[in-house]
């Protein structure tokens, strides 16, 4: 689809009204459990999670569980995490040093290729596995579209970033009292930024954000180094000072600082001088570009747009790629035990300097309470606090419909894609057909 700007009316074929029950109804969650998750490629882990023979990593989603295992032959494989005897889960979490997979219930034993004996009758149930840019995806189906077909244009459009060279050192999981789709919704639009994240406005445009719909996935690009049109400054110096503070607080790691500034944002490093005839955006592009060139030659010839901007991809059903040159945050949401609970996973990827000892280390995984998200900066804390409030609102009597603005079309598009998998219809659920 052609690029859509947030000030344009929604096309008739894009959903503008969403049933609130899709976020609260156990029956709809059961439809997803049966018709979505077993029928779609899903990001399970990275190749760095399982670097050596005997390493394994569990991907758990609702009642489903997969294990990704590095065999003694060095090959990555994925299996359903269930013994073929009486379906006991085999492994929990992640680990290393396996020489065989042994069921904790009756000690049935499988080799790292999933085999038990020579007949094949009781071998582990394999999952399809694919790798893109160091990320491991699994699919419970035994046949169907390849991972390349599923991802579509996304890998090609992100090839310039060099994601395969990035390292994720930490995976953080936050249990949140909301439906998994609300997490996707929150990161699929910038309309809430002015209300929830006003500290971003001096450094990024939240109004002129072009959107593209990519079959089942979608994209927007947010420009950094200019202020939101919502802001009015009396003079240029005031705007520059506000932009510098906002840039350092929120994306200062892009010039070599920390990922999230948790100290007083009113005391950033001194703003550099702006040469005559240039703007602060020019200076920021130079500072970020200089830092990027210390990381990799792939960024030597980047233009200011690719140096500064956020290239933001939603990969259906549960992935958000917040992608900058040199850094990428992947947000993943997994359904919990009920429709109003989920797990929010944060994978933070850096392009490390040549020779850095952490390059392609195995990421450390941890689970934190929602209130601990403050350690990752104000933006993350604000989103984590907001999501349970939204879930409570959707559960109120008489709340039947969510109404979307043009800047929220990615949400409507996600529900259209859900309809393709679940053979459901938003219009039918709303009594409009």
In order, the DSSP letters of 292-331 are: HHTT-GGGTT--HHHHH-EEEEEETTTEEEEEETTEEEEE
String of b and e for 219-248 (b: at least 16 CB within 10 Å)?
bbbbbbbbbbeeeeeeeeeebbbbbbbbbb
pLDDT of residue 171: 97
Whole-number Å distance between alpha carbons of 323 and 222 = 10
> Sign of the CA dihedral 62, 344, 76, 417?
positive
Q: What is the mean pLDDT of residues 104-119?
A: 95
Q: What is the mean pLDDT of residues 90-114?
A: 97
Two tokens, residue 11: 């096309």
State the average pLDDT for the chain.
93
> Which H/E stretch holds residue 393?
helix 378-394
- pLDDT computed for residue 308 by the predictor: 97
Instruction: Tell me if 348 sits within 8 A of 329, measured CB to CB.
Output: yes
Count Cβ neighbours within 10 Å for each residue of 44-78 and write b for 16 or more, e otherwise: bbbbbbbeebbbbbbbbbbebbbbbbbbeeeebbb
Q: In the prediction, which pLDDT does 119 show?
A: 87
Distance CA 164, CA 377 (A): 26
- The whole model's pTM is what? 0.94
Average pLDDT of span 294-307: 94
Residue 376 has pLDDT above 90, yes or no: no
What span, in angstroms and rounded, lies between the C-alpha atoms of 197 and 206?
10
Q: For residue 171, report the phi and psi dihedrals to the nearest 5 degrees.
A: -120, 120
Residue 258 is predicted with a pLDDT of 66
Where residue 262 falls among pLDDT bands split at 50, 70, 90? very low
What percent of the chain shows pLDDT beyond 70? 94
Q: Is the pLDDT of residue 14 over 70?
A: no
Statement: residue 152 has pLDDT above 60: yes
**pLDDT score at 5:** 41
Q: What is the mean pLDDT of residues 229-250?
A: 88
**Pairwise pLDDT comparison (168 vs 117), residue with the higher score:** 168
> How far, in Å, CA of 69 to CA of 95, rounded?
10
Asked if pLDDT for residue 248 goes beyond 50, the answer is yes
What's the confidence (pLDDT) of residue 168?
Answer: 98
Quickly tell me which residue has 């939240």 as its tokens. 206
- What is the spatial distance between Cα 98 and Cα 114, in angstroms, rounded to a whole number? 12
Share of the chain above pLDDT 90, in %: 87
Written in H, E and C, the secondary structure of 154-170 is HHHHCHHHCHHHCEEEE
pLDDT in tens, 27-71: 999 999 999 999 999 999 999 999 999 999 999 999 999 999 999
What pLDDT, on the 0 to 100 scale, is given for residue 259?
61
Tell me what the mean pLDDT of segment 136-161 comes to.
97
Domains and CATH numbers, the chain: 1-24+153-433 (3.90.380.10), 42-151 (2.102.10.10)
Give the per-residue pLDDT at 396.
92
Which residue would you say has higher pLDDT here, 256 or 96?
Answer: 96
Residue 204 DSSP label: B
What stretch of H or E contains 243?
helix 236-251
**Token pair in block for residue 410:** 């990615």
């Amino acid at each position: 689809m052609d690029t859509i700007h947030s000030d344009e009316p929604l096309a008739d074929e894009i959903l503008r009204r969403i049933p609130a029950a899709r976020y609260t109804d156990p029956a709809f969650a059961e439809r997803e459990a049966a018709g979505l998750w077993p029928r779609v490629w899903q990001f399970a882990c990275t190749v760095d999670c399982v670097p050596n023979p005997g390493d394994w990593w569990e991907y758990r989603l609702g009642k489903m569980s997969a294990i990704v295992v590095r065999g003694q032959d060095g090959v990555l494989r994925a299996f359903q995490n269930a013994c073929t005897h009486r379906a006991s889960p085999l492994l929990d979490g992640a680990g290393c040093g396996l020489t065989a997979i042994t069921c904790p219930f009756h000690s049935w034993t499988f080799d790292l290729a999933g085999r038990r004996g020579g007949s094949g009758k009781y071998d582990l149930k394999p999952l399809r596995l694919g790798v893109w840019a160091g990320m491991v995806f699994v699919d419970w189906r035994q046949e169907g579209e390849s991972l390349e077909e599923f991802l579509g244009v996304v890998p090609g459009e992100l090839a310039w970033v060099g994601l395969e060279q990035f390292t994720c050192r930490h995976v953080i999981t936050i249990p949140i009292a909301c439906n998994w789709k609300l997490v996707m919704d929150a990161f699929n639009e910038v309309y809430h930024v002015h209300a929830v994240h006003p500290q971003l406005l001096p450094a990024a445009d939240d109004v002129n954000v072009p959107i593209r719909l990519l079959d089942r996935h979608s994209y927007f690009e947010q420009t950094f180094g200019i202020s939101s049109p919502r802001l009015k400054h009396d003079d240029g110096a005031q705007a520059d000072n506000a932009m510098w503070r906002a840039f350092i607080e929120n994306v200062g790691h892009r010039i070599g600082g920390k990922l999230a500034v948790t100290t007083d944002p009113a005391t950033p490093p001194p703003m550099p001088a702006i040469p005559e005839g240039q703007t602060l955006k020019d200076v920021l592009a130079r500072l970020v570009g200089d830092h990027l060139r210390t990381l990799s030659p792939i960024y030597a010839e980047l233009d200011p747009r690719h140096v500064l901007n956020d290239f933001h991809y939603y990969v259906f059903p549960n992935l958000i790629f917040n992608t900058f040159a040199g850094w990428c945050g992947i947000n993943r949401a997994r359904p919990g035990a009920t429709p109003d609970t989920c797990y929010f996973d944060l994978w933070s990827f850096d392009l490390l300097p040549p020779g850095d000892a952490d390059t392609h280390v195995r990421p450390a995984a941890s689970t934190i309470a929602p209130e601990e998200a403050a350690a990752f900066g104000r933006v993350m804390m604000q989103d984590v606090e907001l999501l349970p409030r939204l879930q409570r609102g959707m559960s109120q009597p008489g709340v039947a419909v969510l109404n979307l603005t043009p800047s929220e079309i990615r949400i409507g598009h996600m529900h259209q894609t859900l309809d393709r998998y679940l053979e459901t219809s938003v219009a039918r659920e709303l009594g409009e057909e």
